[in-house]
Amino acid sequence: MADSEGTRRTRRGSGGVTLHDVAKLAGVAPITASRALNSPAQVSAEVRQKVGEAVARTGYVPNLLAGGLASRRSRLVAAVVPTISGPVFLETVQALTESLAERGYQLMLGQAGYTGSREDALLEAIIGRRPDGIVLTGILHSIEGRKRLLAAGIPVVETWDLTPTPIDMLVGFSHVEVGRSVAEYLHRKGRRQLGAVCGDDERAKRRSWAFQATAATLGLPEVPIVAVPAPTTLRLGREGLATLLETQPAVDAVFCSSDLLALGVMTEARARGIRVPEQLAVVGFGDLDFAADLDPALTTVHIKAGAIGRQAAQFIIDRAEGRAVPQRVVDIGYSIIERTSA
């Protein structure tokens, strides 16, 4: 108990778990702990095991910067996105980059994928370089990844999601509320046979599940959901509508988890002679640049992606420069942009 309390006191004072904390927990000298981590052949197997167990308990990640640099700001901020191939996160990344650059900070971008399998390794590499802040996409992180982020004492901003229990700071919106709002919108428009084509990532699935659940509360028939791999594409949208029509040929409205999927659904509908919106309403997500220029123009959910990036940058800069952040969770909201397709 004493060791645990001592570790917590040190972390509050310095902002992160240190090598001294690890050494104390392992019952060895700091130089011995350093050798166990950096030159394991120089210490016994017993020492390596003790130090390894202490690292696992604290979530400590070795600082890869030189000792003299470790105490100074790096003016480097790391951002982790699921993919750089999809356009939905680009506005946030650009706004984040520009807002940081105005204050003399540089952005390092990492791609974690949608399954989360690469996120832990990527976070360890980032934390080891001790950036002044880390910006994450979403809130679904592994227990190990969360432990490392908390132990590092580095300012963290989670984005594109909403939770009352963020790791540190958060700017985003509720995917559940998006799904609910779209279902209610289509119901008001007189649509009664709803369907969804959804990416298989967690945020998209939450939107679709909420869409499905809300339709049920409105007394509508069960909503079929066709899941497709993320990142989503036009081709997957075409395949998604084809699959949906096999199970629900009477579908009169489709909610898509991305504008690219919606474009694919509209393309497949046109190829089959299904008129949009007369026979089939289509709603996308993201309000990408092409959405307003389609024929028919795409009804979609607009997210203030640039505002997310700017707020995340302000959070990081304030914390890095020692200013208090009284409001650590910002709900940026969303809006349904009504156009011809629905």
Q: H or E segment at 264?
A: helix 259-271
The full DSSP string for 49-118 is: HHHHHHHHHHT-----S-TTTTTS---EEEEEES-SSSGGGHHHHHHHHHHHHTTT-EEEEEE--SSSTT
Locus of tokens 């420069």: 321
- pLDDT for position 134: 96
Section 173-181 average pLDDT: 98
- pLDDT for position 98: 96
Same domain as 83, residue 37: no
Structural domain span for residue 252: 175-302
Average pLDDT over all residues of the chain? 90
Whole-number Å distance between alpha carbons of 275 and 281:
9
Looking at the domain assignment, is residue 338 inside a domain?
A: no
Same domain as 278, residue 181: yes
Same domain as 218, residue 140: no
Same domain as 107, residue 223: no
Residue 191 has pLDDT above 70, yes or no: yes
Instruction: Give the range among 13-17, 138-142, 217-221, 231-235 with minimum mean pLDDT.
Output: 13-17
The proportion of the chain whose per-residue pLDDT surpasses 90, expressed as a percent, equals 71
Q: Are 157 and 309 in contact (CB under 8 A)?
A: no
- pLDDT for position 106: 94
Split at pLDDT 50, 70, 90, the class of 13 is: very low
Q: How big is the CA angle at 15 (ends 26 and 24), to the nearest 5 degrees?
A: 15
Split at pLDDT 50, 70, 90, the class of 8 is: very low
How many residues belong to the chain? Answer: 342
User: How confident is the model over 265-284, as pLDDT tens digits?
Assistant: 999 999 999 999 999 999 99
Split at pLDDT 50, 70, 90, the class of 329 is: very high
Looking at the domain assignment, is residue 70 inside a domain?
A: no
Looking at the domain assignment, is residue 71 inside a domain?
A: no
Q: Are 275 and 336 in contact (CB under 8 A)?
A: no
The residue among 236 and 125 whose pLDDT is bigger is 236
Residue 60 has pLDDT above 80, yes or no: yes
Locus of tokens 């356009």: 87
User: How confident is the model over 61-98, as pLDDT tens digits?
Assistant: 876 555 444 446 788 999 999 887 778 889 999 999 99
Looking at the domain assignment, is residue 66 inside a domain?
A: no
CATH code: domain of residue 193: 3.40.50.2300
Helix, strand and coil percent figures for the chain, each rounded to 5? 45, 15, 40
The residue among 67 and 26 whose pLDDT is bigger is 26
Split at pLDDT 50, 70, 90, the class of 11 is: very low
Split at pLDDT 50, 70, 90, the class of 142 is: confident
Section 303-316 average pLDDT: 97
Whole-number Å distance between alpha carbons of 11 and 165:
20
Same domain as 86, residue 16: no
Looking at the domain assignment, is residue 64 inside a domain?
A: no
How do beta strands 335-337 and 299-302 pair? antiparallel
Q: How many domains does the chain have?
A: 3
Same domain as 278, residue 259: yes
Residue 295 has pLDDT above 60, yes or no: yes
Buried/exposed 118-154: b ≥16 CB within 10 Å, e otherwise: ebbebbeebbeebbbbbbbbbbbbeeebbbbbbbbbb
- pLDDT for position 65: 56
- pLDDT for position 82: 85
Beta-carbon contacts of 281 under 8 Å, excluding residues fewer than 6 positions away, are: 186, 189, 191, 252, 253, 254, 299, 341, 342
Same domain as 167, residue 315: yes
Residue 6 has pLDDT above 70, yes or no: no
